[in-house]
Amino acid sequence: MITSSEETSYVEGKTYSEFAYKLSAGTLLSLTDHVYLDVTYQYVNLGDLEGDRGLHSTTPGGSGPGYDMSSGLMAVELKPTN
Report yes or no: 59 and 50 within 8 Å, Cβ to Cβ: no
10 located within any domain: no
First to last CA, the chain: 55
Domain count, the chain: 1
Query: Residue 23's pLDDT is what?
Result: 96
Query: Residue 57's pLDDT is what?
Result: 47
2 located within any domain: no
3 located within any domain: no
User: How many angstroms from the chain centroid is the CA of residue 9?
Assistant: 19
9 located within any domain: no
**Dist. CA 43–CA 75, nearest whole Å:** 12
45 located within any domain: yes
**pTM of the entire predicted model:** 0.58
Radius of gyration (Cα) for the chain, nearest Å?
20
Residue-range definition of the domain harbouring residue 61: 15-80
Long-range contacts of 48-53 (CB under 8 A, 24+ apart): 48/18, 51/11, 51/13, 52/13, 53/13
**Dist. CA 58–CA 48, nearest whole Å:** 11
Q: Tens of pLDDT along 17-28?
A: 778 899 999 999
